Amino acid sequence: MSERETEEQQHLLPSHAADISSPPPAFRTFWLSKGGTVSTPYLFLAFVSGILVCLLPQYVFSGSSCPSSMSSADDSAHVLAPPYVGSTEVHNWPPPSPTNDLPTLFPTNVGHAGVTPTGAEPALVLTAPSYPIHTGAAQLVLPPALHAGGKSNKGFDLFKKWGNLSPWYSVKRGTFGVNSDPGIRQTLGLPLAVLTPFGRQQLFDLGISIRLKYGFLLQNFTDALPVFRTESQDRMLASALNFAAGFWGIPYEDKYLQSITIEAGNFNNTLAPYMTCPNAGVSGKADRGTPFLKEWTSVYLKETRDRLQGHIDGYALTIEDVYTMQQMCAYETVAIGFSKFCGLFTEEEWEGFNYGYTSAFGAPLARAQGIGYIQELVARLTHTPIQTHNSSTNSTLDDSHITFPLDHNLYVDATHEVVVLNIITALNLSSFAANGPLPTDHIPKQRSFRVSELAPFSTNVQFQLLSCPSRESEQIRIIVNDAVAPLTGIEGCPEDADGMCPVATFVAAQKKIIASTDWAWACHGDWEVPAGHEWNTTTGDVPVSQ
Ligand SMILES: *[C@@H]1O[C@H](CO)[C@@H](O)[C@H](O)[C@H]1NC(C)=O
Ligand SMILES: *[C@@H]1O[C@H](CO)[C@@H](O)[C@H](O)[C@H]1NC(C)=O
Ligand SMILES: *[C@@H]1O[C@H](CO)[C@@H](O)[C@H](O)[C@H]1NC(C)=O
Ligand SMILES: *[C@@H]1O[C@H](CO)[C@@H](O)[C@H](O)[C@H]1NC(C)=O
Ligand SMILES: *[C@@H]1O[C@H](CO)[C@@H](O)[C@H](O)[C@H]1NC(C)=O
Ligand SMILES: *[C@@H]1O[C@H](CO)[C@@H](O)[C@H](O)[C@H]1NC(C)=O
């Protein structure tokens, strides 16, 4: 077991029977790292199965203009797909004789699964005060308005009017005449470090959603199979396969090629860059988020601690305990369906929680850790192999046109949500960055960085390539969790109502970023982040060498 995995297991150890009236001694180890300092990024990494789905589809529009991102009159996402092709078309998958179907290059068992202890089975029926509500069909689109002939009803839900063709939804309690609900009877242990049933569903749903959006791109794979990448860690592999099950349906094994890169110490891997970046280790050097989080939690949870302490005898709650309880609310809910911790906190305290995570633009290693992926992105965009392997890239994999093709029009990569944040930072999507260091005594009114928008479960980033008659050159657009991201922080990219930037401009800027990012110094250099405000980064860069 690597040191990182040991650390990870330590963070995740006993959390079962976590009853607020008598926290067991092991409760605190969930929160504190070895040195006694807070280690949030790793804590999150240890459990959340984030995924990055990167697509490089090429759309060609026959209409006169590129699709706009439409102004949103409501809360729903408006990212337009190309015109529908027609329902008489037939497309058989997979292609009859793909030239890249070479099983030895895509082993299914590469080891290095990391820690995989599991906890108790969930028992929602016993632990929750009510059943969860299933509302239906997140992936499907309804018309903005129905035929205006009749009276319209505000609560009208077309999905519920389709009889036996209606998507499944929870029927309201009491509908059939019985009004009972299960009550809370016990507390369960959490599954540790493995993908949870809910996590499975999020990835499966994402697979379906991406297939509905981009399935048409498969028509161009006439003599090759698409290559999807993920890492060997158990829950990442499980995430990728659940995505595949949603995207392809089962059986999915013969429908595509799954590259499983090794996530372990000393293996170059752009999807797990910290594994070859000693300074990103658990020493705390990279952990710029730590002082921020410590200062911020001591502000927003001060009164909360006093309030909760009023209910407890014989144990002195720390701010860290209270923060852990907030985390437990989310962890327990996604792992076993319900958590008693959630009800302990006010809305304002949840706003505080959602502000307390900084591992992107404020982290000194963010850019360096994201740069390998940027090199791969540029290779795909320019159909040119990576020239110099001087970051987290792996030449064995990246120099092979079988394991790292450069001429496909659909690529899917899965990685941890912290790596997604690293990549967003390295891309210079600085419209998400703060103008200066984030204040630790209040939440600023104007802010663009919200972790739940950029790095939730199944977080997904889509890189779209577009050609259309109304624009002279090929365009690129980046979509983060269904919203178009502004590219204006990237050198040369114009202000654009639809968030597009000419590919050539985008590539030139990314090459400049690659040339000015020094992986060796960032990952191996002897730099220090001084305490307090002596040094600030809002660009994910390390202090320069003196
Ligand atoms: C498929 O490939 C052809 C030929 O390279 C190209 O003209 C077309 O735009 C591609 N279609 C899609 C949907 O990528
Ligand atoms: C590159 O990846 C391959 C396949 O996962 C692995 O065998 C090899 O050791 C890696 N190379 C380095 C330098 O990490
Ligand atoms: C692994 O990364 C190091 C550091 O960037 C690089 O020097 C080395 O060539 C890489 N090895 C492979 C096989 O890509
Ligand atoms: C990246 O962003 C920084 C600060 O936001 C800016 O100064 C720099 O010019 C950008 N560089 C590129 C190549 O986009
Ligand atoms: C790494 O290689 C790229 C070319 O792929 C180059 O632009 C960059 O300057 C190199 N980085 C360092 C620190 O030498
Ligand atoms: C860092 O930010 C703080 C707060 O905005 C500011 O007071 C301080 O001068 C900055 N330090 C540097 C070195 O820029």
CATH superfamily of 3-12+33-105+198-278+361-522: Phosphoglycerate mutase-like (3.40.50.1240)
For tokens 């009889």, what's the residue? 163
| For ligand 3, atom 8: residue with the closest CA | 389
Q: Which residues are registered as beta bridge partners of 478?
A: 463
Ligand 1 within 6 A of CB of 217: yes
Residues in the chain: 546
Domain ranges of the chain: 3-12+33-105+198-278+361-522, 286-356
pLDDT for position 417: 84
Task: Name the residue type at position 409.
Answer: N
Print pLDDT tens along the chain (546 aa).
344 444 444 333 333 323 333 222 222 222 222 222 222 222 222 233 445 555 555 555 544 456 554 433 344 444 554 555 556 778 889 999 999 999 999 999 999 998 877 777 777 767 777 777 777 788 888 777 776 677 777 788 888 887 777 787 877 777 766 666 754 445 556 555 678 888 888 889 989 988 988 888 898 899 999 999 999 999 899 999 999 999 999 999 999 999 999 999 999 999 999 999 998 874 445 444 456 788 889 999 999 999 999 999 999 999 999 999 998 888 888 888 888 899 999 999 998 988 876 567 888 899 999 999 999 999 999 999 999 999 999 999 999 999 999 999 899 999 988 899 899 999 999 888 777 777 888 988 877 777 788 888 778 888 988 887 888 899 999 988 888 889 999 999 999 988 999 999 999 999 999 999 999 999 999 888 776 677 778 888 988 876
The dihedrals phi and psi of 440, each to the nearest 5 degrees, come to: -105, 5
* Cβ count within 10 A of residue 196: 23
- Ligand 6 pocket residues where CB is under 6 Å: 436-437, 533-536
C-alpha 532 to ligand 6 mean position (Å): 9
Is 525 exposed, middle or buried, given 0-12, 13-18 or 19+ CB atoms closer than 10 A?
Answer: middle
Distance separating alpha carbons of residues 433 and 346, to the nearest angstrom: 27
Pocket test for ligand 1, best of 217, 220, 466 (most atoms within 8 A of CB): 220
What strands, in cross-sheet order, belong to the sheet with 412-413? 257-261, 227-231, 412-413
Look at the pTM and tell me if it is higher than 0.85. no
Nearest ligand, CA 441: 6
Asked whether the CA dihedral 417, 210, 461, 330 is positive or negative, the reply is: negative
C-alpha 428 to ligand 1 mean position (Å): 30
Angle between helices 319-336 and 289-300 (to 10 degrees): 100
* Per-residue tokens: 72: 């949103």
Ligand 4 within 6 A of CB of 482: no
pLDDT for position 1: 39
Core vs surface per residue 68-83: b (16+ CB within 10 A) or e: ebeeeeeeeeebeebe
Ligand 5 within 6 A of CB of 387: yes
Q: Are 493 and 476 in contact (CB under 8 A)?
A: no
Sequence-separated (6 or more) residues with CB below 8 Å from residue 136 = 159, 167, 168, 169
Core vs surface per residue 165-195: b (16+ CB within 10 A) or e: eeeeeeeeeeeeeeeeeeeeeebbbbbbbbb
Distance separating alpha carbons of residues 65 and 115, to the nearest angstrom: 50
State the DSSP string of 311-343: T-SS----HHHHHHHHHHHHHHHHHHS--GGGG
Q: Are 286 and 356 in contact (CB under 8 A)?
A: no
Kindly list the distances between the CA atom of residue 285 and the CA atoms of 89, 187, 276, 359, 419, in Å, as whole numbers in the listed order. 56, 37, 15, 12, 17
